[in-house]
A = this chain, B = another copy of it.
């Protein structure tokens, strides 16, 4: 029995050592994993995964767009989008309609998909509130700005098309 008991003091989630002494990337990863997990759990009985919810929401917001466009919006590759769209189509939540022009395939949410989405929103609201809980408006603003900055600064995306002139 000797030596079995804790040669090291293993840190708990909030502890100093936890996260290689505070790598921001590590903390970001953990926070995202925890949040994704909670979302998945909240959506589980609706038969929808977190990425499916994301894609469905985007297609609903921008109907008729090609998959590549939605992929850019979601910061996902077209290949990943294809997988998610395939499963959503199989489940009857959205449709892929091959258009006359070019190769671009239009994505649209079905009525069943919209109903599903409406149910989802009820589940996500509490999570969102829980994430913002304990933050003052200024603090929340700091967090939001940081998240957006990291996402844009590190993205190779370059989806420009600045039609602003």
B142 contacts A143, C-beta separation under 8 Å: yes
A34 contacts B162, C-beta separation under 8 Å: no
**A23→B9 CA distance, assembly (Å):** 37
User: What is the size, in residues, of chain A's interface with B at 8 Å between Cβ atoms?
Assistant: 79
- Copies of the chain in the assembly: 2
A155 contacts B34, C-beta separation under 8 Å: yes
A142 contacts B139, C-beta separation under 8 Å: yes
**A7→B75 CA distance, assembly (Å):** 21
A12 contacts B160, C-beta separation under 8 Å: yes
**Nearest chain-B residue to A99 (Cβ)?**
B4
**A12→B75 CA distance, assembly (Å):** 11
**Nearest chain-B residue to A130 (Cβ)?**
B153
Q: Is A118 an interface residue (CB 8 A)?
A: no
Interface residues of A (CB under 8 A from B): 1, 3-4, 6-20, 22-39, 50, 54, 57, 61-62, 64-65, 69, 72-73, 75-76, 101, 124, 127-128, 130-132, 134-135, 139, 142-144, 146-157, 159-163, 165
Beyond the given A10-B69, A35-B150, A135-B146, could you list 11 further A-B residue pairs with CB under 8 A, ordered by the A residue number? Answer: A12-B160, A23-B124, A24-B128, A24-B147, A25-B39, A28-B147, A29-B50, A30-B75, A31-B32, A31-B151, A34-B75
